[in-house]
């Protein structure tokens, strides 16, 4: 596939756009097929003229990287972990967040100004034989509160998506 076609296809994956955020691009209302509130995503993205998405998947991870002006600036992932995995363990492996960063009182989210991890509460979690977590990171620091708003919104979006019924452990 040539580069122009690949970029066009990636642009289609961030379909469903919200209103303009004052930059040269329109903030997407989905990240590679997962709906996200634009009012949660827009504050964690930098200014720029154009935006595109680059999705990747493996047996246990679905990642969506956003590129602004052709530079990777944001990454969001949905990850399947073993049922005994803790949020702190996920934060240990995540980029942009540390297990000792701020946590919500319910201990479902850990976040910093550059990244966050969260637990996904799937309605049929018992059928997964594991646990789904989300992680995000940004190249440009934002505020902890903006990152917290995004990770909680993204986690809720994943919980209502097909990711909760996906057959994890198989390449997608």
How is residue 102 written in tokens?
């701020």
pLDDT at res. 6: 37
pLDDT at res. 123: 82
Strand runs labelled E in the chain:
17-20, 26-28, 30-31, 34-35, 51-57, 61-68, 71-81, 102-103, 109-111, 115-119, 131-138
Q: How many CB atoms lie within 10 A of CB 59?
A: 11
Look at residues 128, 116, 137 and name the one whose alpha carbon lies nearest to residue 80. Answer: 128
Please report, rounded to a whole number, the percentage of residues in the chain having pLDDT higher than 90. 69
Q: How many CB atoms lie within 10 A of CB 92?
A: 12
pLDDT at res. 111: 97
Residues in the chain: 172
In the β-sheet with 61-68, what is the strand arrangement from edge to edge? 51-57, 61-68, 71-81, 131-138, 115-119, 109-111, 102-103
pLDDT band of 83, cuts 50, 70, 90: confident
Helical H segments across 24-136, by residue range: 38-41, 87-93
Please write the tens of the pLDDT for every residue from 132-142.
999 999 999 99
């Amino acid at each position: 596939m040539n580069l122009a076609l690949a970029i066009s296809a990636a642009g289609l994956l961030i379909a469903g756009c919200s209103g303009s955020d004052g930059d040269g691009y329109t903030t997407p209302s989905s990240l590679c097929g997962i709906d996200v509130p634009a009012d949660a995503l827009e504050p964690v993205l930098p200014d720029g003229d154009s935006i595109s998405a680059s999705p990747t998947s493996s047996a246990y991870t679905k990642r969506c990287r956003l590129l602004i002006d052709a530079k990777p600036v944001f990454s969001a992932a949905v990850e399947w972990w073993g049922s005994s995995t803790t949020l702190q363990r996920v934060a240990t492996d995540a980029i942009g967040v540390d297990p000792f960063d701020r946590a919500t009182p319910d201990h479902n989210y850990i976040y910093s100004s550059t990244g966050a991890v969260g637990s996904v509460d799937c309605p049929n979690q018992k059928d997964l034989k594991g646990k789904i977590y989300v992680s995000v990171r940004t190249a440009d620091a934002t505020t902890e509160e903006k990152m917290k708003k995004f990770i909680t919104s993204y986690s809720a979006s994943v919980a209502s998506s097909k990711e909760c019924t996906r057959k994890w452990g198989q390449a997608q």
